Amino acid sequence: MSRAPGERGEARAAWVFLAPALILITAFFFLPVVTGLALSLTDFDLYAIGHPENVRLVGGANYRALAQAPMFWSALKNTLYFAFVGAPLSVLTALAAALLLNSRLTRWKGFFRTAYFAPFVTTLVAVAIVWKYLYHPRFGLLDAALGSAGIRPVDWLGDPRWAMPAIIVVAVWRSFGYNMLIFLAGLQRIPAEMREAADLDGAGHWSRLWHVTLPQLAPTFVFVGVITAIGFFQVFAEPYVMTGGGPLNSTLSMVLYMYQEGFRWWRLGSAASIAFVLFALVLAVTMIQLAWRREET
């Protein structure tokens, strides 16, 4: 089918415009992903660097080995714990903040909004260091505050039961500001007529919240929750800086495990297989979200 000259010019230009980005993304993202899949089917490791004849194709052996590795199950469990506790916490905190900010009674909205958003902008490594000191069992301010309330100090980062909750707090603190902005936008989109109609019906604050506001926000809620959870699946910097994966591997995350296997021990085949399990996890959650939304509409 022949095209008008203008269209041909447009098509040509389009390819020129697309080329740089597409080439970079293909070469430095899609290609490595495919290579990663291939790597996960081999036993590529230290011995194989520079000596390709030492590589063997092992099929699913890496995945089978993962299934038998207690550390893998710890990492998986910890990551799911982190995501499925942290994401709802972050979303709920964000929702609460958004509702408070959105109230007609609120003044100095700009200041509060900035304050709640500030942690999102910070560098994770830098604040992880700050929190690590705050959590110190003897000199940290958190235990000092608890102490003055009569509660015994807890070794937050040294106790296998508390290390993960402690890290979740940091992650929620950092992320809720961003989610809050999205909720604010959602709240502001609720037609004013609906609110007024509820007022006219004599509904009180809580009733309006429950029957009008929250249902309107529901799709946003799910969307934000899933996006946050997916982000939390990829947690790395917090455990790396604050606990090194300990104590007793209680804060070992999938990505940290992958990093250790890949860059500390150079078992690249194994590391690649961990990466793909992570991918499968994210894919599964995304599919569930898509299916949910399709049901909604």
Partner 1 sequence: MLITLASCRAQATPDGVVIDFWGMGREGEVAQQMMPEFEAEHPGVHVHVQQIPWTAAHEKLLTAYVGHASPDVAQLGNTWVPEYVALGALVPFDSLLKITPTVSATDYFPGIWATNVLSDTVYGIPWYVDTRLIFYRKDILARAGFDSPPTSWPQWMAALRAIKAREDPGAYPIYIPTNEWPPPTIFALESGSPILRDGGRYGAFDDPPFKKAFQFYLDFFRGGLAPRLGINEVGNIYQEFERGTYAMWITGPWNIGEFRRRTPPDFQSKWATAPMPGPDGAASGVSLAGGSSLVVYRASRHPREAWQLVEFLSRPEQQLKFYHLTGDLPARLETWRDTSLANDPAARAFEEQLGRVVPTPQVPEWELIATRIFDYGEQSIRGGMPADTALARLENEVNRILERRRWLLDRPTRKAGR
Partner 2 sequence: MKRRGASTVLHVALGIAALGTLFPLLWMVSGSLMSTGEANSLPPRLLPAHPTLSHYAALFTRLNIGRYFLNSVIVAGGATLISLFLNSMAGYALAKLRFSGRAQIFRVLVAGLVIPAQVAMLPLFLVLQALGLVNTYVGAMIPAMATIFGIFLIRQYAMGIPDDLLSAARMDGASEFRIYWSIVLPVIKPILATMALFTFLSTWNDFLWPLVALTDDAKYTLPVALAGLAGEHVQDTELMLAGSVVTVVPVLIAFVALQRFYVEGITAGSVKQ
Count of C-beta atoms within a 10 Å radius of residue 66: 22
**Residue 106 binds which one of partner 2, partner 1, none, with CB within 5 to 8 A depending on kind?**
partner 2
Interface segment toward partner 2; rule CB under 8 A; list 75-83, 132-140, 157-165, 210-218: 132-140
Site string for partner 2, 65-104 (x = CB under 8 A): --------------------------------x--xx-x-
Q: Does residue 114 interact with partner 2 by CB under 8 A?
A: yes
Among the listed residues 47, 73, 133, 210, the single contact to partner 2 using CB under 8 A: 133
Q: Which of 15, 30, 47, 292 binds partner 1 (CB under 8 A)?
A: 47
Among 46, 57, 126, 288, binds partner 2 (CB under 8 A): 126
Name the segment binding partner 1 (CB under 8 A); options: 50-58, 85-93, 108-116, 215-223: 50-58
Neighbours of 48 (CB within 10 A): 17
**Per-position x/- string for 242-281, each x denoting binding to partner 1 as judged by CB under 8 A, each - no binding:** ----xxxx-------------xxxx---------------
Can you read off the two tokens belonging to residue 277?
């399990």
CA 88 to each of CA 26, 83, 142, 291, 294: distance values in angstroms, whole numbers, following the listed order: 35, 8, 23, 20, 22
| Binding at 288: pick from partner 1, partner 2, none (beta carbon under 5-8 Å per type) | none
Q: Which is nearer to partner 2, 35 or 54 (CB)?
A: 35
Residues 193-252 that bind partner 1 (CB under 8 A): 246-249
* CA-based torsion, 261, 266, 269, 275: positive or negative: positive
Q: Interacting stretch for partner 2, rule CB under 8 A, among 53-61, 62-70, 80-88, 129-137?
A: 129-137
User: Which listed range, 59-67, 74-82, 159-167, 236-244, lies at the site for partner 2 (CB under 8 A)?
Assistant: 236-244
- 133 is in the binding site of which of partner 1, partner 2, none (Cβ under 5 to 8 A by kind)? partner 2
For residue 29, the minimal CB distance to partner 2 (Å) is 5
Query: If you search the block for the tokens 């990663």, which residue do you land on?
Result: 36
CB of 126 to partner 2, least distance (A): 4
Q: SS3 sequence, the chain?
A: CCCCHHHHHHHHHHHHHHHHHHHHHHHHHHHHHHHHHHHHCECCCHHHCCCHHHCCECCCHHHHHHHHCHHHHHHHHHHHHHHHHHHHHHHHHHHHHHHHHHCCCCCCHHHHHHHHHHHHHCCHHHHHHHHHHHCCCCCCHHHHHHHHCCCCCCCCCCCCCCHHHHHHHHHHHHHHHHHHHHHHHHHHHCCHHHHHHHHHCCCCHHHHHHHHHHHHHHHHHHHHHHHHHHHHHCCCHHHHHHCCCCCCCCCCCHHHHHHHHHHHCCCHHHHHHHHHHHHHHHHHHHHHHHHHHHHHC
125 makes contact, choosing from partner 2, partner 1, none, with CB < 5 to 8 Å by partner type, with: partner 2
Shortest Å, Cβ 136 to partner 2:
8
Instruction: Decide: is 124 part of the binding site for partner 1 (CB under 8 A).
Output: no
Residues contributing to the site for partner 1 (CB under 8 A)? 43, 45-47, 49-51, 53-54, 56, 65, 68-70, 137-138, 155, 158, 160, 246-249, 263-266
